[in-house]
Amino acid sequence: MRVVSAWLFCAGSLLAGEALAQQCEHPIADLLKCKERTKWGPHTPKVSAPPCGPEGSRIAFLFPQSCGRADYKPACSAHDICYDTCNSSKGTCDMTFRTQLEASCVMAYPYPTSGVDEEWDRRGTCFSRGDKYAKAVTGSDGQTAYDDAQKVTVQG
């Protein structure tokens, strides 16, 4: 039924005009106008190489990929892969990204088991920078990156 509905939508778009027909072809022009999406067969999520961020993005070069001993690259790479996965949830990708950034800070600057916390300032700086990165992906730049990735991972 899903395939039939998508085909009917695309067929209806063809009858309405060539511009609308493009919306359900690969790559999808407008995700909102092609709701019945499935994974585009040949597509495999790409593993991003540093720097993190959308391919060719100037933003990726503006942000350090670490904070002291904390390495943000694994969290960034996982986030890029999540965006590039067919029908992934942007909200889940972004929440996981925040969690992984925070985990990289705790791994680099562990909480003390006893005594004085000599890493609290560096951990705090790491959390603060990670928070800025996590907030950046929830804005319009993050939405654009997510939409662009989804347009090439799915088909109508």
Choice between 22 and 115, residue whose per-residue pLDDT is larger: 115
Q: State the chain's mean pLDDT as an integer.
A: 75
Provide the pLDDT for residue 51: 62
pLDDT in tens, 60-76: 666 778 899 999 989 98
Closest CA to 104 of 141, 68, 152: 68
Choice between 68 and 3, residue whose per-residue pLDDT is larger: 68
Query: Of 38-47, 85-94, 96-105, 144-153, where does the model show the most confidence?
Result: 96-105
Distance CA 100, CA 26 (A): 32
Residue 128: band (very low, low, confident or very high) from pLDDT cuts 50, 70, 90? very high
Provide the pLDDT for residue 70: 96
For 19-61, the DSSP string reads HHHGGGSSSPS-GGG--S-EE-TT--PPPPPSSPSSTT-SHHH
Backbone angles phi, psi at 72, to 5 degrees: -85, -10
